[in-house]
Structure 1
Amino acid sequence: MAAAERPNNGAAVKTRPPPEVQESSQEMEFWRSDSWVDIWAGIPLRPPSEGSAASLVRAALLPCSNVNFPQITEICDLVASKPSDCPEAVKLLVSAMRDGYVPYRKKLKALTITNEMLYDQSAVQCF
């Protein structure tokens, strides 16, 4: 049986984008994200509230931003002083790390922030 004729037994098959679309294209990042899947499923998109730890995480994970130590410190301080901010911030970090289509640069930023957050016991419980 030829490879094209073999059934995939329900396994997900990844296809390559057309040549005019780069695999690492920043324009494609949103369309491959969990957020897009939620929107497509009809779940309303709620951006994090301004000044929350989640909004700082979201800003840090943007393609045009560079994560620096003062940013990470501010996120960790907010999570430590306001534990109610932690679950939403953790959700953003975890979704960035587990989404297979997210660029490695974004995953590395999420991992860096997560690593620093793990020094706070209350943040550890959110993970």
Structure 2
Amino acid sequence: MKTLIVLLMSAVLAFSAHADEKSIQHLKIADVTSVEDARKIFIEKTSEIRSKRDLGADELQEIHVITYTLEKSVEFFTLNLIGDKKKLAEDIAVVVENIHINSERNRKEETRKYLNQYFVMADTFIKGF
């Protein structure tokens, strides 16, 4: 009986220790099917993320949700571009995934680091539209 109580308490403590990294249920987002839509989504979602300054828990979760749609836009570009533009889109995809994961887990500093990388890459990418 003591072993069961110890196990239960350990589980509660382990859960509490990771409460700030709780996951959000994954969203289903429709695929992007045109260059125009991909471009529009990319610009709009980049602007939305750029408006987040505090990166508190609420803003991190908002960024997390935004990345679902942004990922679909970037995915379209990785599948439909060629050459240097395709490579940049692939690099952006990796950074967006890092933003997604870190914002989901409420990791403010890591998210900020990847956002800074993303904005530099996104600005270059947008200039190529």
TM-score, normalised with respect to structure 1? 0.31
Q: Which has the higher helix share?
A: 2
TM-score, normalised with respect to structure 2? 0.31
